[in-house]
A = this chain, B = another copy of it.
Amino acid sequence: MRNLNAIPLSALRVIEAVARTGTLAAAAEELGVTAGALSQRLGKAEKALGQPLFLRASTGLSPTDACARIAPRLTSAFTELSGALDDLREEAESVLTITVAPIFASRWLIWRIGRFNECHPGVSVRLVPGVPLVDLDRSGHDAGIRVLPASAARPANAVKLLDQRVFPVMSPALARGVKVPEDLLRLPVIRENEGLQGWGPWWEGMGRVPPVMPAGPAYEDASLCLDAAMMGQGVFMAWETLACDALERGQVASPFPERIRTGSTYWFATRGASARKPALLEFRNWIQEEIDVSIRQWRGT
């Protein structure tokens, strides 16, 4: 492979094009430069290789034996390169790579993505679950869906998908004993990573001073916490996108109709270079509609 260092690749391209088209002029047209430039490149190539590659005839250039023998291989190699490049471009157009917080992907997005595929068969969406906020312009992702607290700066190239709202969920059996918020104090609180995310805003939203609550089991991520809630292990303060489907299916119950804003926001951030991809715009539109539908549904409006 190192022998490619000895001769500029552009020279090989000239050899290929001239061998294929038969004239310098035609090759020049194809490569988008003047014939003079090619003549020079060719001259250099022949000098570098120590042998003439084309016989100069009045009607054009005809390859020497040796050149004719390798020309098809050059053609095939460049065709391969060209094809690979095509694929790259095509894929760039038809494939969306989207980084999503796992919680959103696992409990909401992946159950709906099939519908997008049905409507847009030419587009393939790849979800990349990932917690860390990646710099989209460097990561190779076309877009990212992330939840940011109100305190965070508005991300670049981002549109708001929805305000995050929370509410307590529990198994339907437990819910039967819960009539007023204070009833919750009798239940263990299922915590994500030992934290009590969302409880403060919720009590306040309900017009109460946040009380001390009995600690229940803790799990590593919100999805596991929701499972625990389904199983009756306690009460869990759930994000709406996390719980809406479980609520719909009756796997968990929500005793109070209030949906309290935490101040966090879902953002759909687009990579600058992908901003013009039609597939990406379609996807964003689709997800916005889908969120609308989904929320309207389960909020019971």
Contacts and interface: CB of A to CB of B under 8 A. Distances in A.
A80 B84 CA distance: 14
A52 B138 contact: yes
Interface stretch (A66-74, A145-153, A189-197, A225-233): A66-74
Contacts of A78: 1, 4, 77
A128 B126 CA distance: 61
Nearest to A30: B2
Nearest to A85: B3
A87 B74 contact: no
Place the interface of chain A in its size category. 35 or more
A88 interface: yes
Contacts of A79: 1
Contacts of A126: 65
Q: How many copies does the complex hold?
A: 2
A300 B112 CA distance: 100
Nearest to A9: B9
A140 interface: yes
A85 B50 CA distance: 12
A92 B51 contact: yes
A190 B10 CA distance: 57
A52 B81 CA distance: 18
A82 interface: yes
A165 interface: no
Interface in A1-53: 1-5, 7-10, 12-13, 30-32, 49-53
Contacts of A10: 8-9
A89 B49 contact: yes
B88 A66 contact: yes
A9 B66 CA distance: 24
Contact of A84 (B51, B74, B81, B86): B74
Nearest to A32: B5
A67 B55 CA distance: 40
Which of A76, A84, A126 has the most chain B CB atoms inside 10 A of its CB?
A84
A83 B88 contact: no
B87 A77 contact: no
A212 interface: no
B80 A80 contact: yes
A273 B80 contact: no
Contacts of A140: 51-53, 55, 64-66
A82 B6 CA distance: 10
Considering residues A9, A79, A273, which has the most beta carbons from chain B within 10 angstroms of its beta carbon?
A9
A92 B49 contact: yes
Contact of A87 (B52, B69, B84): B69
A66 B92 CA distance: 8
10 contacts: A1-B78, A3-B85, A4-B85, A8-B10, A9-B13, A51-B88, A51-B274, A52-B138, A70-B84, A73-B80
Q: What are the 3 closest A-B residue pairs judged by CB atoms, nearest first?
A: A64-B140, A77-B80, A9-B9
